[in-house]
Amino acid sequence: MASHEEREAEADQAIASINKRTGRNMPQAIGTAVVLIAVILACLLINIDLFVLLIVVFMVLALWELRVDFATAGLHIPVASLWVCSAATLLATYYSPYHIMTLSMCILASLLIVAIAATARVNVSSRLSLAVAAKLSHTDAGARLESSFNHERGERDHSRISHVAVSLFTVLYIPLLAGCLIIPLTFHGHPVAHAVMLVFLPALSDTGGLFAGAWLGRHKLSPRISPKKSVEGLVGSMLFAMAGAFAIFACTYDGAVWASRWWVPVLMGVMVGVVGTFGDLCASMLKRDIGIKDMGHLLKGHGGVMDRVDSILISAPFIAILLWATGL
């Protein structure tokens, strides 16, 4: 019989093999996922308003990560203005009786405020400099060489219009898409079910893609942008999202709804799988262009907040439109 040390060595080797296949520390990733799920479910069970505040907190953290990420390429975004505008946009969208109109007006105002703030010359804080240095120390040289930016000369290579452009992109990426997480909480009387769909279907899609790609992946989906993405992973993403949609629908709607809208979970699963994978590829392309490996480091085993919410954000408007159009 194998000794205790040999069994431990075999277990460590098996874990290392799984980590290599999936491209992440799986024990850490699972532990972090359990904590996140518990926090999200607790907010949903206590009060939907707490879930809205949780979205605001996550978007604030995501904006800080983006500030550091762009700073590694010498690009500045006015994070304080973005924090205020994002929080105001999300809270006003939820609490206003005119949700879509409020979101639209807040985004337009945010674009103007952030554009003006991005033109200002700011002194880089020591905290940001330390965060940038830490980010660069954990990034391999190959990723830096493939970046579109000259990292040695930094910000003086960029005109003010570059800082404005990337700041406006951030407004459309974070508060606008996050607003699409808020809108479905306000219609058709199923805020908890809608919140679960918005958050957990993309997460299930990511999980399905991760395991299907790790164990069955043979045909690369886009090797230049994301070498680990595969066609088999995409199919797994769609199937997991579809199974999750069926489970949520079964717990939420009665037989009469199922009789007329049985096809909605099928369409939602396919849509979330495809759109979520597209969102992951867009995020990978952004990271490759900047020259970094992860968008952040706040979530152990998952990289940063943006690494977790990119597929959720990009899927949100599609899920919102489908739920609204089908009356669910």
Average pLDDT, the chain: 81
Residue 89 resides in a domain = yes
pLDDT digits (tens, 9 = 90+) for 258-270: 888 899 999 999 9
Q: What is the DSSP letter of 157?
A: G
Tell me if 82 sits within 8 A of 171, measured CB to CB. yes
- How many beta carbons lie within 10 A of that of residue 22, not counting itself? 17
Residue 121 resides in a domain = yes
- Per-residue pLDDT at 23: 53
Calpha distance 205→103 (Å, rounded): 27
- State which H helix or E strand residue 229 sits in: strand 226-230
- Per-residue pLDDT at 154: 45
Tell me if 204 sits within 8 A of 241, measured CB to CB. yes
Calpha distance 184→190 (Å, rounded): 8
End-to-end CA distance of the chain: 58
- Per-residue pLDDT at 149: 56
Residues linked to residue 222 through DSSP beta bridges, in sequence order: 226
Residue 29 resides in a domain = no
The Cα angle at residue 233 between residues 224 and 316, in degrees rounded to 5: 90
- State which H helix or E strand residue 304 sits in: none
87 is in which domain, residue-wise? Answer: 36-326
Q: Token pair for residue 137?
A: 């120390």
Q: Is the pLDDT of residue 129 over 80?
A: no
- Per-residue pLDDT at 196: 95
Calpha distance 305→10 (Å, rounded): 32
Residue 193 resides in a domain = yes
Q: Is the pLDDT of residue 217 over 70?
A: no
Instruction: Give 291's pLDDT tier (boundaries 50, 70, 90).
Output: confident
| Nearest alpha carbon to residue 34 among 319, 307, 300 | 300
CA 236 to each of CA 9, 152, 214, 273: distance values in angstroms, whole numbers, following the listed order: 31, 41, 11, 8
Instruction: Give 183's pLDDT tier (boundaries 50, 70, 90).
Output: very high
pLDDT digits (tens, 9 = 90+) for 294-306: 766 665 545 567 7
Q: Any residues with CB less than 8 A from the CB of 285 and at least 6 apart, and which?
A: 225
Residue 4 resides in a domain = no
Residue 163 resides in a domain = yes
**pTM to 2 decimal places:** 0.84
- State which H helix or E strand residue 150 sits in: none
Indicate the range of 45-49, 212-216, 255-259 predicted with least confidence: 212-216
Residue 18 resides in a domain = no
Percent of the chain exceeding pLDDT 90 equals 44
- Per-residue pLDDT at 36: 85
Average pLDDT of the residues in 82-98: 96
Calpha distance 269→188 (Å, rounded): 21
Average pLDDT of the residues in 20-33: 61
Count how many domains the chain has.
1
Residue 6 resides in a domain = no
Instruction: Give 104's pLDDT tier (boundaries 50, 70, 90).
Output: very high
Q: Is the pLDDT of residue 155 over 50?
A: no
